[in-house]
Chain A
Amino acid sequence: MSWIASLRIALRALRVNKLRSVLTMLGIIIGVAAVITMIAVGAGAQAQVEEQIKSLGSNLIILLPGSVTSGGVRMGAGSRSSLTEDDAAALQREVNDVQAAAPTLRGTGQVVAGNSNWSTVFYGVTPEYFEVRNWVIASGKGFDPADLTGSGKVVLLGETVARNLFGDADPVGQTVRVRKVPMQVIGTLERKGQSLMGQDQDDVVLMPISTARNRVLGGTAAKQRSVQSISIKIREGADMAEAEGEIRRLLRQRHRLQPGQEDDFTLRNLSEVLGAREESSRIMTLLLAAVASVSLLVGGIGIMNIMLVSVTERTREIGLRMAVGARGRDILSQFLVEAVTLALIGGLCGIVLGVGGSYAIGHFAGWRIQINAEAVALAVGFAAAIGVFFGFYPARKASRLLPIEALRYE
Chain B
Amino acid sequence: MAEPLIVTRGLTKVYRMESYTVTALQEVSVEIKAGEFVAVMGPSGSGKSTFMNLLGCLDSPSGGDYYLAGEKVSELTGDALAAIRNRRIGFVFQNFNLLPRTSALENVELPLLYSQVSAQERRSRALAKLAEVGLAERAGHHPAQLSGGQQQRVAIARALVNDPVLILADEPTGALDSRTSFEVMGLLQQLNRRGMTVVLVTHERDIAAFASRIVSFRDGHVVDDQRVAQPADAQALLRAHQPAAA
* A interface with B by C-beta (< 8 Å): 1, 5, 12, 16, 316-317, 319-330, 402-404, 407
Contact = CB atoms under 8 A, between A and B. Distances in A.
Most chain B CB within a 10 A radius of its CB, from A12, A319, A320, A323: A323
B79 interface: yes
Contacts, number: 62
A16 B102 CA distance: 11
Contacts of A317: 99
Nearest to B60: A402
Given A320-B97, A324-B85, A403 B58 contact: yes
B56 interface: yes
B78 A327 contact: yes
B93 interface: yes
A327 B114 contact: yes
Interface in B67-96: 78-79, 82-83, 85-87, 91, 93
Contact of A16 (B87, B97, B101, B111): B101
B36 interface: no
Contacts of B119: 5
A323 B78 contact: no
Given A320-B97, A407-B93, A325 B102 contact: no
A323 B56 contact: yes
Given A316-B97, A324-B114, A325-B111, A404 B53 contact: yes
Contacts of A328: 78-79, 82
B83 A325 contact: yes
Contacts of B27: none
A327 B115 CA distance: 10
Contact of B82 (A16, A326, A402, A404): A326
A377 B39 CA distance: 61
B163 interface: no
Nearest to B158: A324
Most chain A CB within a 10 A radius of its CB, from B83, B87, B93: B93
B137 to A, nearest CB: 23
A319 to B, nearest CB: 8
Contacts of B78: 327-328
Contacts of B111: 324-325
B65 interface: no
Contacts of A320: 97, 99, 110
A328 B101 CA distance: 24
